[in-house]
Amino acid sequence: MMLDRVSAVRVFVSDVARARDFYERTLGLALRGDALLFDTGTCTLIVEACDPDEEEGRALIGRFTAVSFDVSDIEAAFATLAGRGVRFDGPPETQAWGSRFAHFHDPDGNVLTLVQLP
């Protein structure tokens, strides 16, 4: 096939230092080098600064990202992250197709997802 795996996903933020602390310390992702490149095990998460005072920044910061993190125990991951102050939309929910997920927010309001597959 011409396409291989997804190599990277980008999330836009207004405050790089605050984002680094959240993604590295709160979520526990491994930072690669000095840039905000985080190793998720399957692809790289790129956290990129964007000016919230510009039109592009307003469009890119604080939105549903469609970035999902697989977890083997969603209840434990939810409890750990909530205990670290991560804001969730609600507790994990079971979907009709069997997956369980919970949406949470980074400091800029970007919506990320925990997902436990059946």
Q: What is the CATH number of the domain that holds 70?
A: 3.10.180.10
| Domain housing 95 | 8-52+64-116
Q: Where does residue 59 fall: left (phi above 0), alpha (psi -120 to 50 degrees), or beta otherwise?
A: alpha
Q: Tell me if 37 is assigned to some domain.
A: yes
Q: Is the Cβ–Cβ distance between 14 and 53 less than 8 Å?
A: no
Query: pTM of the predicted model, to two decimals?
Result: 0.91
Report whether 14 contacts 8 (CB < 8 A).
Answer: no
With a cut of 50, list the residues of the chain below it in pLDDT. Answer: none
Is 26 part of any domain? yes
If one counts the domains in the chain, the total is: 1
Chain centroid to CA 64: 10
Pairing mode, strands 44-49 and 8-13? parallel
21 domain residue, yes or no? yes
Strand partners, 112: 67, 104
48 within some domain: yes
- The whole-number pLDDT of residue 4 equals 80
